Structure 1
Amino acid sequence: MLNGSNVDGQGPDKRPKPCQVAFVYGEKKGMGKSVHFNERGMLVLCAEPAPIQTRIRLSLNFPGLRNPIEVEGEVVWSNLYGTDDTTTPRGMGIKFTQLDPSIARVLGDLSLQYRGYGTQYEIFYT
């Protein structure tokens, strides 16, 4: 084990490590992470989320995948100034747009590995 994780991309509790998310909208760039997603959208935990109704490009770097998954979406929920707790986490909900069916299948399959984190945040992106 290195830094609390094992070599197969899982943490010490056997749940997968978070997906690292790079995002771009307008002239702005940001970074975040996610463990809550499906083939329709995702919750990106980040310090500086984009405003609601922003069109956004995302690069999803999943542990164990060689190449990132590139997707586009629209911000449908954002929490920049509110509390950052389990009820209203700091970040943004993204609804994917124009998602290729093969990418949707991959994200759906990957999301099954992350079910151990729960599905309570799906309301923020579906």
Structure 2
Amino acid sequence: MKRLTVETDLPFCDIAKCDFIPGGSFCEDGRCDQRRCYEKLREYERSDLEPETLRKAQGLLKELKDARQTVELMDACGKRVCSSEEHWGCPYGNEGMTDCAVLLEAAYEDTVEKLLALKETLEG
């Protein structure tokens, strides 16, 4: 993909030769809309991710929103089965008293697979 930003650490205002006073009416808090857009684009271009790779990574991240909870539960519960009292507080418990360890283990394995897919996506 062709770069639209320049590879430098100069601030946007120096690159654009902006003559407005930082913090003035055109430049709220020293960061105008043009500068914010430019810096976001430069950050994206420095990541070397193609748009399709980025979309795939963002999708995986959405699927992994509860990953921390799953990993922490797996660490806390391990392979043990909850008592009936603990069972109702467990997100993997249900009315049929199904073995929540089996459900938690399946969620954990799914989380690990998604994390590995995210790693592969980002590494190319």
Q: Scaled by the length of structure 1, what TM-score is found?
A: 0.23
Question: Whose helix proportion is higher, 1 or 2?
Answer: 2
Greater relative contact order (Cα 8 A, min sep 6): structure 1 or 2? 1
Q: TM-score, normalised by structure 2?
A: 0.24
